[in-house]
Structure 1
Amino acid sequence: MHLAFPSRKSSNPPHYPIRYSRFPTLRRSRAKTIGIGILAAVVLIWVLARLVGSSDGIPPGTPPVVIVTVVDEENYPAGYIQTIKENRIEYAKKHGYATFFPTANDYDLKGAPRSWARVPAVRHAMSNSSSTYFWYLDQNSLIMNPDVDIETHIMNPKKLESMMIKGQPIVPPDSVIKTWPHLKGDQAQLVLTQDAEGLAAGSFIVRRGDWGKFFLDTWYDPLYRSYNFQKADTHALEHIVQWHPTILAKLALIPQRTIDAANKAYAPQGTGAYIEGDFVIRFAGCEQVGRDCVKEAGPFLKQWRTIFDSK
């Protein structure tokens, strides 16, 4: 508030002397003090914010990645399941990641095939963690190169953009719906690969956030679970990607061997087949009649330990 001062002496002088010339100086001094105090408070708040969490609200010490694997303890040998868990745990320790091993029985699938459990499992992990990335990796897979990390080798925007397959039919070879041609690396929210038959849902990475939750909730919609898709959740995924532009617009498709190399014996014409040094090998389809997941994984169950120990 501005104070008006008299221009002449009053006929009734006050009982105490008034030094008009000091008032502006005092106001300026007080304003300066208040300003310095406000600035100090802002700096303190900023410092505290840096100490207790990052700018995106991630608490300090939060693992950047959670590896999610749904395990089937009912139908597979205990030793095999333990080895699969150890494979993820040892890799996670190297990079400061977290692991999550639910079972299909942890989720009410309403009679849908057990493969659907991957979707609520990732959603479950996302609801209970502030991590940035959630990597779903099927049980019948092994991490073979512990030096590859998710943030640098895959999700780094420049690296991701250099790998993205743009203008690719979602369902090869001739789907009219194709991956987004103008997607940038920092815009991608979902990363996955293709095999010879279509989208490969056995290894995918989704970023934490509202879009990631929307994607998982859409995929797990009761209508899709009750529909008799030939390949259950995999065909449901292909459906929503092709019919929901909001999902297609954030999908980054990368080469199969990046996160989902196939067992050579079952890779058509060697497409996407595992080569020594690849990040992951997945024994896709090994649960089918006439195949044996444990037997197919056998040569690699000890090999991954040898590789890890040598790094």
Structure 2
Amino acid sequence: MHFAYPPRKKSGPPPYLPRSTRIPTLRKSRLKTIAITCVAILFVIWLFSGSSSTKSSTRSSSRHVITGEPPVVIVTVFDSKSVKGDSDYNYIKDVMENRVAYAEKHGKCPLPLKEPLDAGINVDKIGYKTHLVEFTDYELNDTPRSWAKVVAVRHAMAKFPDCRYLWFLEQNALIMNPNLKIEDHVFAASKLEANMIKDLPVVPPDSIIKTFSHLTADDVELVVTQDKEGLSTGSFLIRNGEWAKFFLDTWFDPLYRSYNFQRAETHALEHIVQWHPTILSKLAVIPQDLINSYGTATKGKAYENGDLAIRFAGCTRSSSSGCAEQAKPYQSKWRETFA
């Protein structure tokens, strides 16, 4: 019986059979997606880094360069709408004239004021300027009127974009020594280095957050004083610039105004300083008598002859005319020193 031989295996390779066309189609689709993604990424990289030199040059050329004219703007917010008698009316007028007289001493401002509520003092000559406004000039909604100081300083920066420094001095205060200039008395590098109090608890007596021990005069943008209760916002100085805008906008943030701090903007400032190193790193606390002496020693350093200014801290709580009464002994005195 013959058996059929099993079929021989062919020695050549099997004929080529094309694969399903579905796989190449998927691969092509993926490759296309990857290619588009890579192109998009490269475009974004070029947009933000490739043209950075152009953007930086545009930014540097468009950034405002402060000329320092005027050197200083004195900012005061008044509440003259609520005056109740001649005594208070004359007191407000005296304070306004005090500010203008100090500015005139270091520049040119019109004197005397025609009306005690006149605030439009703006001349085109180099010298100190004043920014005297009413708290009702600003929309504060339900927040305490003391917050107006923050807006007023920000307003003054917009009104005098070339000023070097801004000095906020509250209504219930008088400038007593016209010979002291802010840029020399406070901001001169040697004096600021010598006067700034380093490693000081921000909130006395034992706050764990303290002023920087390695701070230099070049670092300082904000100058404040401290009394027995903590930081004082009745008299403070700020260097005009981008940091100042950032700081004031942060301070006036609706979140902080909604906290209902007991001392409103003062406690808000203490909160910000303790929680934001960006602000603490630019803050200098100086001795109180340099810009913020008090009428009495109850709350802080008492005024002495030769001090730049005197504040009647807390006078509004003593009586309706308490501020005018406390200021009375100094009203003729400041005029004598300015003569």
In structure 2, do the counterparts of structure 1 residues 58 and 210 end up closer, same or farther at CA, with 3 Å as the change threshold?
Answer: closer
Q: Which residue in the other structure is 2:141 paired with?
A: 110
Q: Which moved more, 1:282-291 or 1:227-236?
A: 282-291
Corresponding residue SS for 2:315: coil
Equivalent position amino acid for 2:75 in 1? V
CA separation in 1, counterparts of 2:272 and 2:217?
Answer: 21
Corresponding residue SS for 2:81: coil
CA separation in 2, counterparts of 1:88 and 1:226?
Answer: 32
CA separation in 2, counterparts of 1:179 and 1:190?
Answer: 12
Query: In the TM superposition, what are the counterparts of 1:132-147 in structure 2 within 5 Å?
Result: 132-147=164-179
How many corresponding residue pairs? 251
Q: Which of 256, 259, 266 in structure 2 is aligned with 1:227?
A: 259
Counterpart check, 1:295 vs 2:325: yes
Q: Which residue in the other structure is 1:63 paired with?
A: 70
In structure 2, do the counterparts of structure 1 residues 306 and 139 end up closer, same or farther at CA, with 3 Å as the change threshold?
Answer: same
CA separation in 2, counterparts of 1:202 and 1:178?
Answer: 21
Counterpart check, 1:81 vs 2:92: yes
Q: Tell me which structure has the larger Cα radius of gyration.
A: 2
Query: In the TM superposition, what are the counterparts of 1:93-242 in structure 2 within 5 Å?
Result: 93-95=104-106, 96-129=127-160, 130-242=162-274
Runs (5+) with no aligned partner, structure 1: 1-54
Q: Give deviations 1:40-77, integer Å, cap 9, x for gaps.
A: xxxxxxxxxxxxxxx973458x2110000001111233
Q: Which of 96, 101, 104 in structure 2 is aligned with 1:90?
A: 101
CA separation in 2, counterparts of 1:132 and 1:59?
Answer: 7
Corresponding residue SS for 2:225: strand
CA separation in 1, counterparts of 2:70 and 2:208?
Answer: 39
TM-score, length-scaled by structure 2: 0.72
Q: Which of 278, 297, 312 in structure 2 is aligned with 1:246?
A: 278
CA separation in 1, counterparts of 2:64 and 2:256?
Answer: 33
Equivalent position amino acid for 1:170 in 2? V
CA separation in 2, counterparts of 1:223 and 1:178?
Answer: 24
CA separation in 2, counterparts of 1:110 and 1:242?
Answer: 27
Corresponding residue SS for 1:131: coil
Q: Give deviations 1:267-297, integer Å, cap 9, x for gaps.
A: 24xx411011111100111111447111111
Equivalent position amino acid for 1:138 in 2? E
CA separation in 2, counterparts of 1:228 and 1:283?
Answer: 25
CA separation in 2, counterparts of 1:167 and 1:304?
Answer: 36
In structure 2, do the counterparts of structure 1 residues 172 and 117 end up closer, same or farther at CA, with 3 Å as the change threshold?
Answer: same
Q: Give deviations 1:14-35, integer Å, cap 9, x for gaps.
A: xxxxxxxxxxxxxxxxxxxxxx
Q: Which residue in the other structure is 2:310 paired with?
A: 281
Segments of 4+ moved more than 4 angstroms: none
Corresponding residue SS for 1:252: strand
Corresponding residue SS for 2:243: helix
CA separation in 2, counterparts of 1:59 and 1:218?
Answer: 25
Q: Which residue in the other structure is 1:21 paired with?
A: none
Q: Give deviations 1:157-198, integer Å, cap 9, x for gaps.
A: 111111000000001000000011111012100001001100
Q: Give deviations 1:240-290, integer Å, cap 9, x for gaps.
A: 0111100000001000000000112x524xx41101111110011111144
TM-score, length-scaled by structure 1: 0.78
Corresponding residue SS for 1:102: strand
In structure 2, do the counterparts of structure 1 residues 147 and 92 end up closer, same or farther at CA, with 3 Å as the change threshold?
Answer: same
CA separation in 2, counterparts of 1:173 and 1:165?
Answer: 14
CA separation in 2, counterparts of 1:124 and 1:74?
Answer: 20
Does the aligned pair in 1 maintain the 2:72–2:165 contact within 8 Å?
yes
Equivalent position amino acid for 2:309 in 1? V
Corresponding residue SS for 2:330: helix
Corresponding residue SS for 1:302: helix
Q: Give deviations 1:95-131, integer Å, cap 9, x for gaps.
A: 1200011111111112101100000000001112110
Equivalent position amino acid for 1:82 in 2? K
